[in-house]
């Protein structure tokens, strides 16, 4: 415990260095600016801004990234409330009430409860992360390759098969991601696989190209084809942006309950913030003194889900930092940011790069504060960003999107890859195939393969390591349970 | 529920992808050293997974359609019907950029991309879009080249940028 506080203290020393503080500020501002753009969710924001950090030292870059991440989350909420355009599934719950509030002339309080709720949830979740991370690290230090492989399979299963509308479409997305992850040079033997003699493919497929292709190019193709001729109404902020006493009274409990839903769902590999935001929404609706207001702009329905969303985003950093396992598309891109610096998040990073890890965690506290003091007063600017007309907006997004891909190898081949992923993203959006499993599969697949082969190399090819080691065996058993339980429940219900 | 040709085609596509991956996998080495598992093991697993998913998707597509999907009618999704020109303009913009970036440079190709995409999104003022596109691409170019030291091609505009001291 004391040890943790000491490490966190060192972390604050790192994060409060003027230059790092500046990177934090820039990160939050840029993250909000890009996150506010309609159609740009946190994952795409982080992916598009990744090239900006190439020349920074790792600590500064990761601190900037923490800021971008938080800024993008807040920016996304603003868009959701004012434009009724949820950039991602986790914002749908917010859109239900937030946009109704805005339509009723209460955009200010809706944005305020979302911002302050995010601050409260983010801060509490960061405290929990601070306390929890060292404990997980202690356990994880005892993990061998077999345990890691089991955990990764568990993450694959929950992310693709358990959540979402369809098990088989989630799995398809995952396997496409895994296949893409195979391209390049096999790390164990040096043999080229699935590269077709194309030099750009020998490096493997960059997760940023996939994410930007799916999210930016795919989105532009989709919105262009199906939504570009629709009219949209941007709600204005009239009246005070501050919350009344009544608003505060109605908001604080949903914030705390939302945090309680969000953090656990984020920190176990349960794939994103969709479930906790909806649980929070349903709970608030049940507990509200005036449930009839729900559907017409109830502030509880904004406060709870927003807190849950933010707490879950912070929660995903637990498996990412302590185990190196990303459980959301955004976390997958953050992992690739680490990898760009040759860093592999996990228990060892807490020992070898303690300053960096704790500096990053400390900057989460700071990022939350920056977000609060920066964004509510500047809301007028963000609203102007929102008013950019669609043609110029998507044109601008694509100029940035292609820049990131091109700067990888200075080659048009990466632009072609980007377009192919864009077509894939279009098809996945049109026919309801989730994209997050593909992004996570791409980056986690090669790590899983390495652990698998390492485990077998240690055991001299004896596959029993995966079921005789108690931890690995229990994780596999758990995986089987989460895979079979929903199916079994459905079967039983049908029989009755 | 009506059978959807698109679903059947996509299911067959996933099957074909798995089969193709399996064909490539068969050419990979199985030499595994100590682990006994070679570089072909995960590709084989992945191909098998894709084939299985493709078969499952095809079964759903042939028997009543994919489950829990958003409606096929654009109106039911709150959208307008597929607009081929928009799709084509966005694609054309990206193709133009691929073709131009090496020779004409980032600014020209970026501006071309900008104009095409804006056109696809029903903008009726190409000249103004061109001006915005050039300004945006130039700003991005200067920021990345001067401030971040990221190398981007200047292309046709190199002499111009050079004489302006950039």
pLDDT at A490: 79
Phi, psi of A193 (to 5 degrees): -130, 140
Cβ pair B93:A454 closer than 8 A: no
pLDDT at B166: 59
* CA atoms of A122 and B137, how far apart (whole Å): 36
Cβ pair A457:B35 closer than 8 A: yes
Higher pLDDT, A244 or B121: B121
Residues within 8 A of B (CB atoms), A 305-324 only? none
Whether residue A71 is predicted with pLDDT greater than 80 in this model: the reply is yes
Cβ pair B21:A179 closer than 8 A: yes
Of A266, A273, A275, A368, residue with least CA distance to A325: A266
Whether residue B148 is predicted with pLDDT greater than 80 in this model: the reply is no
Classified as helix, coil or strand, A193 is strand
Classified as helix, coil or strand, A54 is coil
Higher pLDDT, B65 or A39: B65
* CA atoms of B155 and A169, how far apart (whole Å): 44
Q: Provide the terminal-to-terminal Cα distance of chain A, rounded to the nearest Å.
A: 51
Q: How many CB atoms neighbour CB B26 within 10 A?
A: 12
- pLDDT tens string A164-211: 778 899 999 999 999 999 998 888 788 889 988 888 888 889 888 999
Residues 6 or more apart whose Cβ sits within 8 Å of residue A46: A31, A65, A68, A69, A72, A330, A333, A334, A337
Q: What is the DSSP string of B119-143?
A: HHTT---HHHHHHHHHHHHHHHHHI
Residues within 8 A of B (CB atoms), A 35-74 only? 51-52, 54-55
Asked casually if ipTM beats, i.e. exceeds, 0.85, the reply is yes
pLDDT band, residue B88 (cuts 50/70/90) = very high
Residues present in chain A in total = 496
Whether residue A132 is predicted with pLDDT greater than 80 in this model: the reply is yes
Two tokens, residue A109? 């309080």
Q: How many CB atoms neighbour CB B138 within 10 A?
A: 17
A185: enclosing H helix or E strand: strand A184-185
Q: A193 pairs with which residues across the strands?
A: A184
- Give the distance from residue B165's alpha carbon to the nearest chain A alpha carbon, in angstroms: 23
pLDDT band, residue A90 (cuts 50/70/90) = confident
Distances (CA, A) of B9 to A292, A331, B3, B13: 46, 32, 11, 6
- Give the distance from residue B105's alpha carbon to the nearest chain A alpha carbon, in angstroms: 11
Residues within 8 A of A (CB atoms), B 122-161 only? 122-123, 129, 132-133, 136-137, 140, 144, 148-153
Residue of A nearest to B60 (CA): A168
What global pTM score does this model have? 0.91
Residue whose pair of structure tokens reads 């592999």 in the numeric block: A344
Residue of A nearest to B124 (CA): A391
How many angstroms separate the most distant Cα atoms in chain B? 67
A176 — contact with chain B (CB < 8 Å)?
yes
Secondary structure, 3-state, A201-243: HHCCCCHHHHHHHHHHHHHHHHHHHHCCCCCCCCCCCCCCCCC
Q: How many CB atoms neighbour CB A295 within 10 A?
A: 12
Whether residue B9 is predicted with pLDDT greater than 60 in this model: the reply is yes
Find chain A residues with C-beta within 8 A of B43's C-beta. 182, 193-194
Classified as helix, coil or strand, A84 is coil
A1 — contact with chain B (CB < 8 Å)?
no
Two tokens, residue A48? 């598009």
Of A98, A468, A418, A124, residue with least CA distance to A266: A124
Phi, psi of A192 (to 5 degrees): -80, 135
Classified as helix, coil or strand, A184 is strand
Cβ pair A391:B117 closer than 8 A: yes
pLDDT band, residue A270 (cuts 50/70/90) = low
Cβ pair B113:A445 closer than 8 A: no
Cβ pair A419:B67 closer than 8 A: no
Whether residue B1 is predicted with pLDDT greater than 60 in this model: the reply is no
- Give the distance from residue A53's alpha carbon to the nearest chain B alpha carbon, in angstroms: 8
A192: enclosing H helix or E strand: strand A192-193
pLDDT at A442: 94
* CA atoms of B93 and A220, how far apart (whole Å): 11
- pLDDT tens string B23-82: 999 888 887 777 778 888 999 999 999 999 999 999 999 988 888 888 888 888 888 899
How many angstroms separate the most distant Cα atoms in chain A? 71
Q: Provide the terminal-to-terminal Cα distance of chain B, rounded to the nearest Å.
A: 62
Of B160, B80, B96, residue with least CA distance to B130: B96
What integer is the mean pLDDT of A214-224? Answer: 92
Residue among A179, A221, A415 whose CB faces B46 most closely:
A179
Task: Give percent of chain B above pLDDT 90.
Answer: 55
Which of B53, B115, B151 would you mutate first to test chain A, the one with the most A CBs within 10 A?
Answer: B53
Whether residue A290 is predicted with pLDDT greater than 70 in this model: the reply is yes
Cβ pair B83:A427 closer than 8 A: no
* CA atoms of A276 and A472, how far apart (whole Å): 28
């Amino acid at each position: 415990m004391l040890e943790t506080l000491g490490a966190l203290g060192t972390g604050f020393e790192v994060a409060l260095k003027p230059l790092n503080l500046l990177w934090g500020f820039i990160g939050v501002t840029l993250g909000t600016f890009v996150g506010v753009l309609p159609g740009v969710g946190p994952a795409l924001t982080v992916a598009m801004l990744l090239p900006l950090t190439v020349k920074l030292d790792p600590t500064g870059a990761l601190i900037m990234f923490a800021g971008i991440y938080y800024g993008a989350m807040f920016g996304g909420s603003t868009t959701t409330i004012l434009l009724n355009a949820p950039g991602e599934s986790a914002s749908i719950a917010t859109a239900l009430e937030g946009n109704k509030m805005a339509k009723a002339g209460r955009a200010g309080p809706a944005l305020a409860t979302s911002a302050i709720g995010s601050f409260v949830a983010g801060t509490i979740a960061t405290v929990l992360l601070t306390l929890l991370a060292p404990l997980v690290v202690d356990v994880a230090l005892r993990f061998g390759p077999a345990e890691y492989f089991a955990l990764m399979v568990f993450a694959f299963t929950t992310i693709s098969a358990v959540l979402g509308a369809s098990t088989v479409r989630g799995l398809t997305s995952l396997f496409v991601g895994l296949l893409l992850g195979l391209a390049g040079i096999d790390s164990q033997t040096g043999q080229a696989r699935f590269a077709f003699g194309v030099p750009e493919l020998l490096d493997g497929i960059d997760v940023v190209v996939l994410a930007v292709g799916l999210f930016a190019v795919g989105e532009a193709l989709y919105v262009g084809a199906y939504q570009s001729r629709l009219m949209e109404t941007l709600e204005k902020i009239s009246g005070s942006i501050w919350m009344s006493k009544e608003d505060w009274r109605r908001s604080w409990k949903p914030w705390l309950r939302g945090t309680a839903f969000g953090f656990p769902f984020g920190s176990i590999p349960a794939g994103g913030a969709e479930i906790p935001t909806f649980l929070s929404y349903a709970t608030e609706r049940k507990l509200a003194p005036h449930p009839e207001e729900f559907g017409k702009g109830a502030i509880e329905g904004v406060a709870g889900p927003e807190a849950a969303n933010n707490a879950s985003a912070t929660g995903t950093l637990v498996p990412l930092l302590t185990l190196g396992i990303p459980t959301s598309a955004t976390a997958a891109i953050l992992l690739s940011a680490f990898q760009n610096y040759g860093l592999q998040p996990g228990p060892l990073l807490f020992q070898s790069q303690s300053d960096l890890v704790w500096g990053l965690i400390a900057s989460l506290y700071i990022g939350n504060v920056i977000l609060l003091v920066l964004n509510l007063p500047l809301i007028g600017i963000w609203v102007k960003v929102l008013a950019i007309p669609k043609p110029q907006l998507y044109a601008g997004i694509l100029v940035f999107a292609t820049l990131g891909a091109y700067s990888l190898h200075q080659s048009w081949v990466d632009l072609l890859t980007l377009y192919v992923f864009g077509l894939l993203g279009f098809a996945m959006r049109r026919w309801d195939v989730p994209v997050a499993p593909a992004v996570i599969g791409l980056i986690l697949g090669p790590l899983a393969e390495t652990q698998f082969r390492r485990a077998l190399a240690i055991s001299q090819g004896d596959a029993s390591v995966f079921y005789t080691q108690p931890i690995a065996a229990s994780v596999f058993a758990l995986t089987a349970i989460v895979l079979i339980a929903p199916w079994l429940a459905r079967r039983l219900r049908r029989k009755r | 529920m009506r059978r959807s040709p698109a679903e059947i085609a996509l299911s067959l596509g996933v099957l074909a992808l798995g089969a193709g991956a399996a064909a490539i996998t068969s050419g990979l080495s199985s030499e595994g050293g100590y682990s006994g598992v070679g570089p072909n093991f995960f590709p084989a697993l992945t191909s098998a997974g894709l084939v299985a998913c493709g078969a499952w998707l095809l079964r759903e597509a042939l028997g009543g359609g994919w489950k829990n999907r958003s409606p096929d009618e654009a109106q039911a999704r709150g959208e307008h019907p597929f607009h081929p020109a928009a799709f084509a303009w966005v694609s054309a913009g990206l193709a133009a950029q691929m073709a131009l970036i090496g020779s004409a440079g980032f600014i020209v190709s970026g501006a071309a991309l900008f104009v095409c995409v804006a056109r696809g999104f029903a903008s009726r003022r190409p000249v103004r879009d061109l001006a915005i596109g050039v300004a945006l691409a130039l700003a991005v170019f200067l920021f990345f080249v001067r401030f971040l030291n990221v190398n981007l091609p200047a292309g046709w505009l190199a002499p111009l940028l050079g004489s302006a001291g950039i």
